[in-house]
Amino acid sequence: MEIIFQQILNGVIIGSVYCLIALGLTMIFGILEVTNFAHGEIYMIGAYTSLFITSQLEIHFLLSLLIAMAVVGVLGVFIERVVFRPILGKPMINGMLLSFGLSIFLTNLALLLFKADPRKIESGYSQVRLTFAGLQLTLERLMVIIVSTLLVIALYFFIQKTKLGKAMRAVTQDREAAQLAGVSISNIFALTFAMGCSLAAAAGSLGGALFTVYPSMGWTPVLKSFVVVIMGGFGNVAGAIIAAMLLGLTESLCGGFISYAYKDAYAFLLLVVVLLIKPEGIVGGRG
């Protein structure tokens, strides 16, 4: 029984990492209509930034996470302007292939710069053990849940309450109408990309502390996050959160009790089941 709860806890932790990546992906898709396969490399860059700051500059892990978010956010604006802006309005396959190109470029650049050996971000909290109702949990893992919850809440308030958030939602619904109402599309594109990348960087820092940091670390999480995005409905934030938890739980429970070797296949099976039962996504429609 305890094992089941432990696995559920693991599922929630991995689900929150997927959630942060998927939120960025779904925002970028909702506004730019690009399926960004290079998002995993943004996650990787976030992890390396945080690794560099904690190990070289010896700055506190949580602060390094914030710095990584800022740095990668700026990088996101640059990537949007230079890479994705030129192909705006072209067929979706072009955007997809472009992001594959970017992904190959960034992974191999990282491989040249940092070499392939995996490293770990020392958060300083991995040794602090907490026992809660018979469940073992390190402070580090608890922090993953707390940080991602805070980020999701902050994002929710930004999108729902602020003027920029409203402008973003307007662009998602109808690009031209928003433009007519005086929204600067160009700024919204940049902002969305920056925010999406920041969230991925946060996920990267947390993922790098939980697991290890290496150049191709982003490849599998980003694919899983795409499953999350589809299951939640493209561009749907609430759906993405629920779907991320569902995928995290499915993976850790099936991985723990059925077969660990097929861990990466459960995402596909879950996707097929969801698409057969509710093709419009768990929450339904684009929100």
Partner 1 sequence: MSERMKIVKIALWWFGIVLAIVLPFLLPKDYHVHMLVLAGIYSILALSLGLIMGFTGQVSLCHAAFYGIGAYTSSLLALNWDWPFWISLWVGAIGAGFVSFLLGCLVLRLKGHFLAITTAFFGIFVALLFNNLTELTKGPMGLPGIPRPASIDLGFLKIDFITRTSYYYLVLCFAGFAGYCIYRLIHSRFGQAMIAIRENEELSQSIGVNSMKIKLLSFTVGGMFAGLAGAIYAHYILFISPVSFTLAESINILTMVIFGGMQSFWGPIVGSFLLTILPEFLRMAGELRMTLYGLALMLLIIFLPSGLVCSIKEKWFSPSK
Beta-carbon contacts of 7 under 8 Å, excluding residues fewer than 6 positions away, are 252, 253, 256, 257
The Cα 193–Cα 199 span in angstroms is 10
Q: Which of residues 21-50 bind partner 1 (CB under 8 A)?
A: 29, 35
Q: Name which of 154 and 269 has its Cβ closer to partner 1.
A: 269
The Cα 197–Cα 73 span in angstroms is 5
Contact pattern for partner 1 over residues 246 through 265, marking x by CB under 8 A: ---------------xx-xx
Rg (C-alpha) for the chain, rounded Å, is 19
C-alpha closest to that of 107 among 224, 229, 213, 225: 213
Q: Which of residues 188-227 bind partner 1 (CB under 8 A)?
A: 223, 226-227
The b/e string for 11-39 (b: 16+ C-beta within 10 A; e otherwise) is bbbbbbbbbbbbbbbbbbbbbbebbbbbb
Instruction: Work out whether 135 is an interface residue with partner 1 (CB under 8 A).
Output: no
Question: Shortest Cβ distance from residue 107 to partner 1 (Å)?
Answer: 8
Instruction: Work out whether 272 is an interface residue with partner 1 (CB under 8 A).
Output: yes
Instruction: Work out whether 181 is an interface residue with partner 1 (CB under 8 A).
Output: no
Q: Name which of 130 and 279 has its Cβ closer to partner 1.
A: 279
Q: Residues 97, 150, 181, 258: which binds partner 1 (CB under 8 A)?
A: 97
Q: Name which of 108 and 127 has its Cβ closer to partner 1.
A: 108
Q: Name which of 21 and 151 has its Cβ closer to partner 1.
A: 21
The Cα 103–Cα 75 span in angstroms is 14
Residues at the interface with partner 1 (CB under 8 A): 29, 35, 83, 86-87, 90, 92-94, 96-98, 100-109, 111-112, 223, 226-227, 230, 234, 261-262, 264-265, 267-269, 271-272, 275-276, 279
